[in-house]
Amino acid sequence: MHWVTLLFNVEDYMLPCLTRQFLGFDCPGCGLQRSVTFLLQGDFVAAFKMYPAIYPMLLLFSFIVIKRFVSIRFENTITFGLLLATFFAIFTNFILKFI
């Protein structure tokens, strides 16, 4: 067993997808919680397979945190580029679920 599983049973605390419950199809964020769980367990391939947008999203959030402490040239352009990459990864993943 992995330390995350030993610490607490993560799946007991996961939020259900209301879109899936009420409308019957996945929302654009479906898979994010399990993907984060896989990341915490160190299973990076499974995290990507579960939710491919996890890595652009992590880059975006990491960059936003870093730029609060360090002045970075072209930070607005970089932030916008990472935001676009994250959006397209989420959107592409969402569309591919229906194919």
Is the overall model pTM greater than 0.95, yes or no?
no
Q: In this structure, how many other beta carbons lie within 10 angstroms of the beta carbon of residue 63?
A: 17
In whole angstroms, give the CA distance from residue 47 to residue 41.
9
pLDDT, tens digit, for every residue of 50-89? Answer: 999 999 999 999 999 999 999 999 999 999 999 999 999 9
* Single-letter amino acid, residue 77: T
